[in-house]
């Protein structure tokens, strides 16, 4: 692993810690968005483009924004913004136990990059062996050739749902002035 990966992994750990330790729900959601974005950056560094794009589209674009809208609509007022360690001791204890358990479960994992022998691992990138396309290009090729009709039907259903939700939320006045 490079310095790039270690840097983003440490940022990911910090942001995930901020998700559970922040008292302000808005700060927790913003930290959650940064966790998803950092996860997609790490997936891109591992050449998993589809996974990275799905993190951004599904998690950041849908779930985290939905949480953000709920928090904004609830209009939660924060009375005490001080960080109280006593209230979160159980959460920190569980995190500590999980980290110790992970260290005992995987004793062969050593974080010294000089001790890792790259001859032990054989990884073949089958996509580059079969076709010289990236993961996202292969997925697009399959979606737009074999499943084109289903893709169009799904888009039409989503379009009808969008029109239906707009019609349900529009409030029409009884009196219109036509000129």
> Which domains can be identified in the chain, with CATH numbers?
3-132 (1.20.120.1200)
CA 111-123-115 angle, 5° bins: 25
> Is it the case that residue 112 has pLDDT exceeding 80?
no
Distance CA(100)–CA(111), nearest Å, equals 15
Instruction: Check residue 5 and give left, alpha or beta (phi > 0: left; psi -120 to 50: alpha).
Output: alpha
Tokens of 24: 């302000």
> Is it the case that residue 77 has pLDDT exceeding 80?
no
> Is it the case that residue 79 has pLDDT exceeding 60?
no
- The reported pLDDT for the residue numbered 38 is 92
Q: Is 33 exposed, middle or buried (0-12, 13-18, 19+ CB in 10 A)?
A: buried
């Amino acid at each position: 692993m490079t310095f790039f990966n270690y840097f983003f992994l440490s940022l990911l750990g910090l942001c995930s810690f901020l998700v559970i330790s922040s008292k302000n729900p808005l700060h927790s959601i913003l930290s959650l968005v940064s966790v998803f974005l950092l996860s997609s950056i790490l997936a891109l560094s591992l050449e998993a483009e589809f996974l990275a794009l799905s993190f951004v589209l599904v998690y950041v674009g849908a779930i985290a924004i939905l949480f953000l809208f709920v928090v904004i609509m609830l209009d939660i007022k924060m009375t005490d913004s001080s960080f109280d360690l006593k209230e979160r001791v159980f959460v920190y204890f569980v995190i500590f136990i999980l980290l110790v358990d992970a260290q005992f479960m995987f004793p062969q994992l050593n974080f010294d990059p000089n001790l890792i022998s790259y001859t032990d691992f054989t990884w073949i990138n089958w996509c580059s062996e079969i076709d010289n396309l990236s993961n996202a290009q292969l997925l697009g090729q399959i979606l737009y050739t074999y499943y084109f009709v289903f893709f169009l039907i799904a888009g039409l259903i989503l379009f009808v749902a969008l029109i239906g939700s707009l019609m349900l939320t529009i409030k029409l006045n009884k009196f219109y002035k036509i000129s």
